[in-house]
Amino acid sequence: MTPEQLIIIPLLIGFLLDCLLGDPLGLPHPIRLFGNSIYFFTEKLNSGSYRKAKGAAMAVGLIAVTFGTVWLILHLAKSIELLYVGLASLGVFYGLANRSLIQESYKVMKALQWEGLGAGRKQLSYIVGRETSNLNEQQIRIAVLETLAENLSDGVIAPLFFYALGGVPAMMAYKMANTLDSMIGYKSERFRQFGWFAARFDDVINFIPARITALLMVVLSFSWRGLVSVFRYGHQHSSPNAGYPEAALAGILNCRFGGPNVYHGTLVEKPYIGNNDRKITNRDFYKTCVLNFFTCLAMIGLICIIRMI
């Protein structure tokens, strides 16, 4: 196989596996290993003096080890093309999270519709960081759409972007960095110093993917309003990146996201994204799921085209 084929074929197989299987709970998953590693070292290092330095050293070490380990495994497997393609395809499958993102969001909408507000709040709590116990139906639906937009960037487009740059090793290194941010990148007293580097590093590596995500969303939906929304609201989010895909979706759907929410017991006044405070419907949800799928497909298509040129 040519070097291009060794990139494109695992990408397509991994994407197909994600479409068919999502994230089966019975399978071992490297993200769980990443999480366990982060937890282990955090318990050992997040105390005493020099927490910033120790947190940065842990993050850099885990990201570097992840990249190096995956690179070494694939390098050793390269002499057997079928083995290499199989392992690389598995890496892409583990690196993508589009089906599971849509699946988990659907569970929230289904619980809300058929089991009531309490069930919707509980199901939502599994996929968001905000407190859900006092959310009303509209706020739950908004949270689901915000999650679909933000995680389309973090869980789909960004891993594909780094796959395009450095194959499965770069994709897995990104996943480790993103997991670090999700576990220790909080502004709480416990992680303010220790997780500082992880949070800032995640902001840096997601800068380009977040904007690619927003651009693909508005292009695929032929939405001028979405493009205007990206430029008007994208930079207003507290995150330097999450606001861009959220602003794109708010413009595409002509709705409003953001507003005050409680995170870890603290009220956070998030700015509003969009200006049409209308009721979010099931149709909005299904439209967003379709857009997520085709945005993922478009990114894969772009990678394949660039590789073949």
In the numeric block, the tokens 């309003």 are attached to: 225
| pLDDT-wise least confident of 33-47, 55-69, 106-120, 259-273 | 259-273
Task: Report which of 17, 39, 54, 53 is spatially closest to residue 179, judged by C-alpha positions.
Answer: 39
pLDDT band at 62 (very low <50, low <70, confident <90, very high): very high
- What phi and psi values does residue 268 have, to the nearest 5 degrees? -115, 120
- What phi and psi values does residue 80 have, to the nearest 5 degrees? -115, 100
pTM of the model: 0.93
Q: Report the C-alpha gap between 130 and 286 in whole angstroms.
A: 23
The pLDDT score that the predictor gives to residue 266 is 67
**102: exposed, middle or buried (Cβ count in 10 Å: 0-12, 13-18, 19+):** buried
Say whether pLDDT at 23 is over 80. Answer: no
Task: Report which of 19, 2, 20, 140 is spatially closest to residue 81, judged by C-alpha positions.
Answer: 2
Residue range 40-59, pLDDT digits in tens: 999 999 888 898 999 999 99
Residue range 224-250, pLDDT digits in tens: 999 999 999 999 887 899 899 999 999
The pLDDT score that the predictor gives to residue 26 is 67
Q: Which two tokens stand for residue 9?
A: 């074929």
pLDDT band at 111 (very low <50, low <70, confident <90, very high): very high
